[in-house]
Amino acid sequence: MEILAYGVLSDERPLLQDALEQHRLRMLDVFLTADTAPLAAGFPVVSSSVNDTLDAGVLSLLAAGGTKLIAQRSTGFNNIDLTAAAELGLTVARVSYYSPYAVAEHAWTLALAVNRRLTRATTRSREFDFRLDGLMGRDIHGMTVGVIGTGKIGECFARIAAGFGTELLGWDVAENPACLELGMTYTELPELLSRADLVSLHVPLLPATHHLIDAAALARMKDDAILVNSSRGGLVDSTALVETLRAGRLSGVGLDVYEEETGVFFTDQSIQGVTDDTLARLVTFPQVLVTSHQAYYTRTAVGQIIDATARNIDDFAAGRTSENTLVPKS
């Protein structure tokens, strides 16, 4: 089967090549947009990344070119118009599971880095400035840690938190027995935000969770709290976050995602510069650390994502569906 994969990163190439060696595979480093969609003409399978655009217009172009399957190489699929895909007769599959440890560990990497001022310390060391002024952090041991979303990734984050010796608070639509065994206390969101020294987000982006952390939520948090988001950028109102930081509140913010990251993350913006004023302002705060949606980016997790993508393609060819199927074959 002929497959065109968009947005392929250099580290992904050998893994994709090995997993799909029985197919005719073409890999592009450009993202899927209305401008690049015509490149897929004649390819029955298009493999997309989370930063590709698959709105109704792009899907129409793909369908007109003969594409039958969209195989998304991610768990998230909010970039795909599923209704339009169904109307166009396109099958859509995603990766429903990959290593939750990858994301949870990166979330803790962000939390520890902003807590211990590692970005500022590294910059100073490169300039041979070895003063400690302004680098004081806090012990994680004894902190109250709030976990918003206690599914697979949230549970892994909580297990690490328990290892540090923290008090665990949780918020979710359903309680996770494994988190309860760790000693987690489930609370209403306002109470979690007001009590937690560190808040980490692990819920999906849905209409109900869009800007879950808005100005009101930020106002409830402690002035010296740490906020980490390794889930979806739209969970946080970025404008409200900037205003909170401008007011001198929050001792650390670690962001692996940003609500307007499409077209920016995974690309080199160093020459032309970033035109998003909110993002540009965020990265100037010394207590903020932004990474480029890399929490999933471990050899284990990426390998699992690619293996699942290969299975999705094989399932489509055999007329099978699975838990990864979002829009079945019509």
Closest to 144 (Cα-Cα) out of 80, 81, 194: 194
CB count, 10 Å around CB of 68?
Answer: 18
Is 261 known to be catalytic?
Answer: yes
What is the C-alpha to C-alpha distance for residues 70 and 274, in angstroms, rounded to an integer? 30
What is the C-alpha to C-alpha distance for residues 75 and 203, in angstroms, rounded to an integer? 12
Closest to 252 (Cα-Cα) out of 210, 196, 211: 196
Of 12, 155, 259, 261, which is the active-site residue? 261
Of 293, 299, 320, 323, which is the active-site residue? 293
Closest to 167 (Cα-Cα) out of 150, 186, 184: 184
The token pair at 322 is 């699975």
Taking every pair of Cα atoms in the chain, the longest distance, rounded to a whole number of angstroms, is 65
Q: What is the dihedral sign for C-alpha 213, 219, 222, 225? A: positive
Q: 166, 146 in Cβ contact below 8 A? A: no
Of 106, 202, 232, 259, which is the active-site residue? 232
Is 293 known to be catalytic?
Answer: yes
Is 311 known to be catalytic?
Answer: no
Residues annotated catalytic, as ranges: 232, 261, 293
